[in-house]
Structure 1
Amino acid sequence: MTRISRRAALLGAAGCVCGAAGCTARSHRAAARPPGTTRPGPASPSPRPSHGDGLPRTTPWRPSAAEVTPAAKLRAVQLVEALGAWRPGGSGPAAARSRVSALHLGPALADQAGPLLPTADAAAVQVIDAQYGGILAGSASVLVVCRQWTRTADRVSAGGTTVDVRLVRTASGWTVTALHPAHPGAPEPRPPSRVHKILSDPRIELPPAARADLLAGRVHDSVLAAMLRLAGTYRMSVSVVRSGHPLDVFGTRRPSDHPRGRAFDVWRIDGHPVVDPGTSRALVERFMRDAAAAGSYNVGGPLRPSGGVIANQFFSDATHHDHVHIGFRA
């Protein structure tokens, strides 16, 4: 906890999806860009002074026109932004249900918010990214990756989570049916040395839930080694590692590599969002090939490089239009 010196407003949301072979049940990730911009951008926003409630100022996250189905991501993010932020006097389950109802969604969704609703006087949330966990004609999984700040008395605490938001398409548009927040587990007393190296590497950007996954010691060593190897060449923004991802590849009964700690997703490479049409396809392909060279048997993204050391080592689909999935065998 740190004593307050800044303030805040709120908002944000995100999702993740992995398609064929290996990425857990999400299809593609949210237009990787900083909240508050109209197009994908190169950097995540930093907290700024607020209006007087002691929390950092945040900005709404909104999908770009480059998204496969921007309306699904927007709906998921709006709910996370509404649940995870409140002004003084707006804490508690009843107030959370009212915020959900204001979005014309079922108020009972507030009961599934878990870590988004800690006991606090006020809170602010900033969505980092929203990526598909899976997208089908009538249903979707959006992984909303966010940071959250809470204030109790004169103390501000920083945290955050990743929420797997499930949606279905109705005659009036996309609506949310369930929330599955991340549960990384308790940190290990003595995390492996590679974990310390990753957490201190400025070229690897980890959101709160992914950072907690590493500290909990439930991420396979092959993932840790690949992160460090890729960071020797690229600056990369990770969206999802283990928790907050669907248990099965979306729309199937095939177990995803993510919940088993054998995969990670990257939504931004060298400051360039994967979803942004302006991002060099050569850069994305080179990154995917280097991920394969780092030992991944299953690399998915917005394009499918030719070749591969093993059959079907590379894949591409709508779910991976917004991120690169890097999976490993046990």
Structure 2
Amino acid sequence: MQTKSQTSREAAKQRHIQRRVDAKDKSKGNDKAQHAMQAGARNYPEPPFPEQHQPKPGHEWAIEPAPLYDAPYYLGSKKLEGKVALITGGDSGIGRSVAVLFAREGADVAIVYLAEDRDAAETKAAVEKERRRCLLIKADVSEREDCRGAVETTVKRFGRIDVLVNNAAFQIHSNDFSDLTEEHFDTTLKTNLYGYFHMAQEAVPHMKPGSAIINTGSVTGIEGSKQLVDYSITKGGIHAFTRALSGNLIGKGIRVNAVAPGPVWTPLNPSDKEADDVSKFGSDTPMKRPAQPEELAPAYVFLASPHCSSYITGEILPVVGGY
């Protein structure tokens, strides 16, 4: 049994430890670690951003600061040499960066986009800068005939499809569940689920063993989002679709995987959120900033390349900035 002097010394020691920790906690208010984490080859923009709001479907050329997609420090190593990739939503955001890195790895690229001609032309120029061919296809992935036409046009131009990236998406918030209209709900499901289903079903007959399908899921499909009930439903569905389709196609030698991004600085968000919310976008992640598209694109290269991921199928790869 300890004496009174011993217990007093122990209590004093504990208070000393407490004072030291309290002092460190107070000093952390000015600590750099409280700001956005920068762990890449270059520093990425962090909130607050300029307040901005765009009409759907959003335009990359109008976003401030401009999304970073060209990954200047990423060196290609022929991971997709001679391949043909078809990317929906490839005119901007994640899709644009994926197109550029696929081209840097040796692939020709066909891009499906809805209406953003200026963005699509810039993506085409970026792909051609990598000395690969780029085909632009304006289409609505929610329509079966448009998906069939996109696949047929790609095969006619390039002779094959080795990689399908289902990336096009519709997202707009609804703060009150009762405000989520049937039209809104239907548009989200038709674009995000039907679009992936249509594109995969049309592309698979043209894909040979060793081909890959990559679907863009979302952290909302893992955690849910109270303001994006319909979008969360579709992204969770995409994750399930990925796992189910991977089993269905394994006998054909076609791998199916998904990338589940957290917040990414793309036209999807300024065309969804109110201007004030856009200025704070990504600040609630552990890294305290949104990802830039070029931070997502290498994950798609990894899943597309048989050199990197030949034994991976049915997986969901979260790239969310920490949990």
TM-score range, shorter chain: under 0.3
Bigger radius of gyration: 2
- Give the structure-1-normalised TM-score: 0.27
Higher strand share: 1
Higher helix share: 2
